[in-house]
Amino acid sequence: MKKISTILFVVLLGFSWACESDSEFLDRPPAESLTTQQAFSDPAQVLSILGNLYDRQFAVYRLSDWQTFADFNEVLVTADDNLTNLWHTNNTWPFGGINGYWTTWNYTYIRELNLFLERIGDATFSEELKATYAAEARFLRANYYFELAKLYGGVPIILQSQEYDFSGDPTYLQVPRSTEAEIYDFIIAEADTLKSLLPINADGKSRASAGAALAMKAQAAVFAGSLAKYNTTTPSVSLPGGVIGIPVERATGYYETALAASQEIISGSAGNYGLYLKIPDNLSENFAALFYDKNANPEVIYEEEYQLKFKFHYFTGANQPRYGAEEEEGGALNPSLNLVQEFELLDNTFAPIPTVDADGNPIYYENQVDIFANRDARLGGTVILPGTVFKNRQVDIWAGVQLADGSIISGSERGQLRELPGNSVPQQVVGFDGPVAATNQNALAGFYVRKYLDPVPGSGRRGTQSEVPRIRYRYAGILLIAAEAAFELGQPDIAAGYMNEVRARAGFTIPLTGADITFDRIVHERRVEFALEGEYFMDLKRFRIAHKIFDGVAMNVADLRAGIGTATNRSTQPWGLWPYKIYEPGSPNDGKWIFKENLSSRVTASDNWQLGNYYSSIDNNILNSNPKLIRQPLQ
Amino acid sequence: MKIKFHYILLLAVGFGLASCALDNYDEPTSQLTGRLVYQGNPIYLEFNRVSYELYQDGFGKTGPLGSTFTPEGTFSQLLFDGTYKMVVPNGQGPFLWGEEADMPDTVTINVSGNTEQDFEVIPFWIINNAQLSGSGNQVTGTFALEQIVTDANAKNIESVTLYISKTMFANSQTNVAITTLEGAAITDINSVSLSAAIPELVPTQNYVFASIGVKFAGVDDLLFSPTEKITF
């Protein structure tokens, strides 16, 4: 009896849910997603959508993918996995770059930006805020088109969200590629409009501001100018109708736009930007700090933001010095000697790193860093040199011990101890940071990366990682754009003035004069100032010098030492510089250092840039879906 | 319970035999081969540089099937029978082809059984009378150059290079010694001579391979002479 009443009770309980009508049930609003109307009803809601769009900005160079920094023999890749073995063993680049790093075709992103711009009009909050948010989305859209233009030349410009009408005929949705000039004109025009719509805010680095729009305008204009001017040297890199190839007569106009836009930033009308100079008595540390200092950094105009616990990257962990690191890993990228020797002497001259004297005898150095003396302060800010300090620990980079008879004793693991002749106590014969031949992830080129490495404790730990932002536009870049544009417009004295500002921050005391400014100078200054920042990729392309630098011919030591400071100097293989300690008890040279150029055994190929590499390939699937697209030249 | 192991085995073998028959297609069996020719003479290229593409219509999206020509200018593909269209992508190869050379821009090939199809192109220049010889430690190559394309599409010679290699692949990617002469420095195109010293070879071998490559201004791919084995 008791059992029955329990059952009845349960049945009764069931009735309490059963009376809701079916239509009501089906009309219930979903709890897990918002309607467009709801999403755009609240400023905080819209901001989070905008945040998502910011998060999806594209750049070829990403701190979260350290491999994207591995190209062009500016670094030796020493990591060992399937991804990284692709460098230094292949003679040519695929048309989409290694691992497809030079490709993006994210029209989904553009569509969502367009939808955002269309929907924000109906939002129910203040017009002022709506206008700012819309301007930010327009900035992101122009920014993405800029990335597309850099990689592909002319691309379809779509500024409205497209809807398919299910008629079975999608041809009305197929947009042909614009000309290369049109896409740059679009970016410049957008930036020009946006500079007055966006707030003047030199403190908000990670969100679009008037300064960011102007910086984008200056850079797009100078790129377009150089593409117009220098594509005449490679006439086969073009497509009919100007889809690739800007008419040469437009170069001057673009350079004028670039100069004017950069001067607008320099004048301070878009916010108070300036060169970073918080540590004036140590310019190398100052240059490194420019990249990790997130506190009121006057140099940064626009950056891709990272924040611990939310969005972070492992660039520091992947590339940190191995010895005493927070994880037993690091050293994935080693700056090459090719790059290191490009840093000038302080008397404005170029010279190889002096390993031997005029007669070919080795030069003996008291301290390891002495060999790099009197060079551009940016060297120490870009590269961790042997004998310098990172995170309060001196790096221990040396390849072995050289005896009086010239023979070398070294180890097969980092910091190995071995007996030396005439001494029964084993001694260290190789650095704790390497280089150890035929191993991975140590200082195989004799250097570590310094730029973008985060000195904060925990940055090299997998569980914490780093929040150093990647700088997209910075003030020194604007100065160099102004210098380049002024030079191309035949105003070398003005160019020298802008360039000297950047060089003074690097420790140069003798200013360059207008007569010193040449094409080689412009290219070189950009190469060292922006080393390992990703600018070099576009410089190689827009000056049309890549096929001369990477001509497929292997390099010997004489090649390496020759031609420093020349824009088209061959750099087909990444060389290293290995320090050796002298062991000659009783001799004045005992305990001193000598250096030898070294080509890693990992380097089995010499790079060859094909003319078809100047523009990234468009995937066959994309070409198939839209027959109006034309293929890239020489592919 | 006693497991009868041989039943399980029998069952597994039975499944194995039954499962292979129905759901597999026959592999392609028709070999398409051919070579690049100019007036019946083969064209020599660099390994893995000049690509071609084969298209077949009628099966959904048209994506190409492609590969590169061998150094001897030949190609081969194992295909199903059918009609294919073959193209050399724009700008590939040290030759003119298609529209620029007043030819159809696609070669239609009917593959049925093993098929041979030569591919006619017009090189910018050709290398005549290439002679590669070794004496002592030196390899010398003499050859003549003849310009074929002289209209608006004509290309200047950027450089000529003698490549010496330990293997049959004597080209810009694998070599032990090279000698390059800039195009402007060529005085007599009917008799160009290049020589290079053979470096010490590790491990030692008493022969090398040599070939001559010609680079045209504005063209990526080099035109080669046949590779010769030289014993010294």
Give DSSP secondary structure letters for A482-504: HHHHHHHTT-HHHHHHHHHHHHH
A277 close to B (CB below 8 A): no
pLDDT above 70 covers what percent of chain B? 94
**Which residues does chain A have within 8 Å of residue B173's beta carbon, measured at their own beta carbons?**
91, 552, 605-606, 608
Task: Say whether B125-231 and B30-123 share the same fold.
Answer: yes
- Element spanning A207, H or E: none
A626 close to B (CB below 8 A): no
Chain A nearest CA to B227, separation (Å): 19
- Which residue(s) pair with B177 in the sheet? B164
Q: What is the CA A151 to chain-centroid distance, rounded?
A: 14
When pLDDT is cut at 50, 70 and 90, the band that residue A274 belongs to is: very high
pLDDT score of A85 more than 90: no
Chain B nearest CA to A251, separation (Å): 22
Across residues A110-114, what is the average pLDDT?
96
Q: At B133, list the tokens.
A: 């010889």
Across residues B112-117, what is the average pLDDT?
90
Q: Do A328 and A230 contact (CB within 8 A), yes or no? A: no
Chain B nearest CA to A337, separation (Å): 23
Q: What is the rounded distance in angstroms from the CA atom of residue A113 to the CA atom of residue A123?
A: 15
Domain boundaries along the sequence of chain B: 30-123, 125-231
pLDDT above 70 covers what percent of chain A? 97
Please, which residues have CB within 8 angstroms of residue B31's CB and are 6 or more apart in sequence? B76, B77, B78, B79, B114, B115
ipTM beyond cut 0.85: no
Predicted confidence at residue B229, as pLDDT, reads 92
Q: Which residues of B touch A (CB under 8 A)?
A: 61-64, 89-92, 172-173, 178, 218-220
b/e string for A335-368 if b means 16 or more Cβ within 10 A?
Answer: bbbbbbbbbbebebebebbebbeeeeebebbeeb
Q: Which residue has the higher pLDDT, A89 or A218?
A: A218
Dump pLDDT digits (tens) for A461-489.
999 999 999 999 999 999 999 999 999 99
Predicted confidence at residue A635, as pLDDT, reads 77
Helix intervals (H) in B105-209: none
Predicted confidence at residue A17, as pLDDT, reads 60
A contact residues 523-582, partner B, Cβ 8 Å cutoff: 552-553
B93 to chain A: closest CA residue: A634
Q: Using the beta-carbon criterion (under 8 Å), do B91 and A624 form an inter-chain contact?
A: no
Predicted confidence at residue A15, as pLDDT, reads 62
Q: Considering CB atoms only, which of A91, A236, A605 is closest to B91?
A: A236
Q: Using the beta-carbon criterion (under 8 Å), do B91 and A91 form an inter-chain contact?
A: no
Dump pLDDT digits (tens) for B71-80.
999 999 999 8
A621 close to B (CB below 8 A): yes
Across residues A69-97, what is the average pLDDT?
85
Fold of B125-231: Immunoglobulin-like (2.60.40)
Across residues A89-93, what is the average pLDDT?
84
When pLDDT is cut at 50, 70 and 90, the band that residue A1 belongs to is: low
Predicted confidence at residue A14, as pLDDT, reads 65
Q: Considering CB atoms only, which of B61, B91, B173 is closest to A552?
A: B173
Dump pLDDT digits (tens) for A549-569.
998 888 889 889 999 999 999
**Which residues does chain A have within 8 Å of residue B165's beta carbon, measured at their own beta carbons?**
none
Q: Using the beta-carbon criterion (under 8 Å), do B89 and A608 form an inter-chain contact?
A: no
When pLDDT is cut at 50, 70 and 90, the band that residue B23 belongs to is: low
Interface test with A, best of B47, B99, B124, B173 (most A CBs within 10 A): B173
Sheet containing B138-147: order of strands: B125-135, B138-147, B192-197
Dump pLDDT digits (tens) for A374-396.
999 999 999 999 999 999 899 99
Phi-psi region of B91 (alpha: psi -120 to 50; beta: other; left: phi over 0): left
Average confidence score pLDDT of chain B: 85
**Which residues does chain B have within 8 Å of residue A635's beta carbon, measured at their own beta carbons?**
89-91
Dump pLDDT digits (tens) for A329-349.
888 999 999 999 999 999 999
Average confidence score pLDDT of chain A: 90
Q: Using the beta-carbon criterion (under 8 Å), do A612 and B220 form an inter-chain contact?
A: yes
pLDDT above 90 covers what percent of chain A? 67
When pLDDT is cut at 50, 70 and 90, the band that residue A352 belongs to is: very high
Q: Using the beta-carbon criterion (under 8 Å), do A634 and B92 form an inter-chain contact?
A: yes
Chain B nearest CA to A517, separation (Å): 29
pLDDT score of B14 more than 80: no
User: In degrees rounded to 5, what are phi and psi of residue A333?
Assistant: -115, 130
C-alpha angle A263/A266/A272, rounded to 5°?
145
Chain B nearest CA to A237, separation (Å): 9
Across residues B35-49, what is the average pLDDT?
89
Predicted confidence at residue B18, as pLDDT, reads 64
When pLDDT is cut at 50, 70 and 90, the band that residue A123 belongs to is: confident
User: How would you classify the pairing of strands A593-599 and A575-583?
Assistant: antiparallel
A240 close to B (CB below 8 A): no
Across residues A238-262, what is the average pLDDT?
93
Q: What is the CA A281 to chain-centroid distance, rounded?
A: 28
A contact residues 599-618, partner B, Cβ 8 Å cutoff: 605-606, 608, 610-612
Reduce the DSSP state of residue B208 to 3 states and report it. strand
Dump pLDDT digits (tens) for A434-454.
899 888 888 999 999 999 999
When pLDDT is cut at 50, 70 and 90, the band that residue A21 belongs to is: low
Q: Which residue has the higher pLDDT, A555 or A144?
A: A144
User: In degrees rounded to 5, what are phi and psi of residue B193?
Assistant: -130, 135
The architecture CATH gives domain B30-123: Sandwich (2.60)
Dump pLDDT digits (tens) for B171-205.
887 888 888 898 888 888 899 999 999 888 888 88
Q: What is the rounded distance in angstroms from the CA atom of residue B14 to the CA atom of residue B112?
A: 37
pLDDT score of A154 more than 70: yes
- Element spanning B182, H or E: strand B177-182
**Which residues does chain A have within 8 Å of residue B91's beta carbon, measured at their own beta carbons?**
236, 611-612, 633-635
Predicted confidence at residue B22, as pLDDT, reads 59
**Which residues does chain A have within 8 Å of residue B63's beta carbon, measured at their own beta carbons?**
620-621, 624
* Out of A123-137, B19-33, B153-167, least confident range: B19-33
Predicted confidence at residue A202, as pLDDT, reads 83
pLDDT score of A74 more than 70: yes
When pLDDT is cut at 50, 70 and 90, the band that residue A152 belongs to is: very high
Q: Using the beta-carbon criterion (under 8 Å), do B62 and A624 form an inter-chain contact?
A: yes
Q: Using the beta-carbon criterion (under 8 Å), do A634 and B91 form an inter-chain contact?
A: yes
* Out of A437-441, A525-529, B139-143, least confident range: A437-441
Dump pLDDT digits (tens) for A43-66.
899 999 999 999 999 999 999 999
Q: Using the beta-carbon criterion (under 8 Å), do B172 and A552 form an inter-chain contact?
A: yes
Chain A nearest CA to B98, separation (Å): 14
Predicted confidence at residue B2, as pLDDT, reads 59
Dump pLDDT digits (tens) for A277-313.
999 999 999 999 999 998 889 999 999 999 999 999 9
